[in-house]
Structure 1
Amino acid sequence: MDVVAIMEALAEQGVTVLVKADTERMAERRKPWTFVASGAPSREDVLVRTDAASMEQCLAACLPRLRELGFSFPE
């Protein structure tokens, strides 16, 4: 899975994507990864977010929801 290609495809559709790895949560053995996708032209109500133990888990949780909302991106 090409995360950069996914983020670029979403950005081209007007979605802002943020991926974060939090060192404090990692040290505390909490879900250190955050994925947030928000906004879109004429669809400012778009907000898809999750915290997870890995980047893969973030994508597994958020990408299906983004597809349901009508966004397209590479597999």
Structure 2
Amino acid sequence: MTANRGRWPKIDPDSGIEDAVLPILEWLGEQGVGAMIRVDAERVRDQKPAWTFAAGGGPLSHPLRADGATAQECLSRALVYLREAGVDVPF
């Protein structure tokens, strides 16, 4: 989490972020940021937030991680965290 004291940022449920996943990952790679998104089947079974976005390197001063119950939730949080870290993803 970021400086928001443990509160997760609000997300836009109609953003369509899932459609931009590959362009976002490609853009991050072009900026020198290594990034991935994954789903953990064990966490799905346990009904826990199963999606994880992780990124590091390039302009990021420290690794970043965002979790969510859906891919959309996870990526929306990741974009907020990236922007807070000074990486303004153009999507």
TM-score (norm 2): 0.70
Q: Distance in 1 between matches of 2:48 and 2:25?
A: 25
Structure 1, unpaired ranges of 5+: none
Match of 1:28 in 2: 46
**Aligned to 1:51, which of 50, 67, 81?**
67
CA distance in 2, matches of 1:54, 1:46: 24
Task: Give the % identical residues.
Answer: 38
1:36 Cα offset (Å): 0.5
Root-mean-square deviation (Å) = 1.6
After TM superposition, which residue ranges in structure 1, 4 or more long, deviate above 6 angstroms? none
Match of 2:80 in 1: 64
SS in 2 for 1:7: helix
- The 3-state SS of whatever aligns with 1:40 is coil
Q: TM-score, normalised by structure 1?
A: 0.82
Determine which structure has the larger strand proportion and give its number: 1
Shift in Å, 1:11: 0.6
Structure 1 residue 23: Cα displacement: 0.5
